[in-house]
Amino acid sequence: MDNITTCMARMDLNKLKEKYNLREPERGDLDDTTIEWRSGKPDYAKANLAFLKGKTQNHKGGSLEEVVENLVKTWEMEATHKKNILQWTTIDHGNYCVQTNGGEILDGVKAFEIGNYNALFKGCPAYEKYGLDDHFEKSHDLFRDALVNGFPWEVLKVFSGPPNVVFTWRHWGEFTGEYRGRPGNGELVELYGMLRVTVNSDLKIQKIEAYFDGTSFLEAMEGKVDPNELRHGRALLGDTTTPAIEKE
């Protein structure tokens, strides 16, 4: 997908939703005027367009898969854009923590301060070999500069419900930008993994345990791994002439 304006993305998004009866992800009340944003209220038109065009699953409305997907997308929005952690609505503030691949457990404040990418790629050799920089914005810019048109995320399959929600997931993006000085050629790069999310009775996140191979994903953008080796699914709307999606 070429770089497009937010207005164009919104128009294309509405067309897809109407044609295939699709729903945009829900991320809570973004119009709440009391929210303290890092850089203004986010607009998810481009992100949602990339998500709908590239996802491999079409979960039923109200299903556990959709509930989990929206919960994690809302958490990601809050972690990325809300500068006051006390305004996060997705977490159990007294118990929230993050852990990747059985490594160090980061308490909520530390994970908030360094940002999702630094927290989730902690312990990954291909990420840490460049030296750790716990600066929130620098870590986000690293991936935004590489995956210019977005880095969508979807739930694949949920294996268990609350309080210990276990599921597989997929991240993907078109490498049209530059990663650590190396330009991409528009190739699709994908990242697969599993999450165990512990929630309380109000579905507030207490602990996130992520499991994934970050090294292969990063090395694909470094030119050390063939991106095709990371691909395991077909986008439902990848070929709009013969889409693999069924209307509900």
Q: What is the DSSP string of 196-225?
A: EEEE-TT--EEEEEEEE-HHHHHHHHTTSS
Phi first, then psi: give them for residue 76, nearest 5 degrees.
-65, -40
Per residue in 136-191, pLDDT (tens digit) is 889 999 999 999 999 999 999 999 999 999 999 999 999 999 999 999 999 999 99
Helix (H, G, I), strand (E, B) or coil at 178: strand
Give the whole-angstrom CA distance, residue 150 versus residue 125: 24
Number of domain units in the chain: 1
Give the whole-angstrom CA distance, residue 192 versus residue 208: 16
Helix (H) / strand (E) containing 174: strand 164-175
Does residue 237 sit within a domain?
no
Does residue 216 sit within a domain?
yes
Does residue 247 sit within a domain?
no
User: What does pTM read for this prediction?
Assistant: 0.91
User: Which one-letter amino acid corresponds to residue 158?
Assistant: V
CATH of residue 133's domain is: 3.10.450.50
Give the whole-angstrom CA distance, residue 16 versus residue 24: 10
Does residue 240 sit within a domain?
no
Q: Which domain holds residue 93?
A: 1-28+38-230
Least trusted range by pLDDT, from 31-45, 90-104, 164-178, 228-242:
228-242
Does residue 217 sit within a domain?
yes
Does residue 239 sit within a domain?
no
Give the rounded percent of residues in the chain with a pLDDT score beyond 90: 87
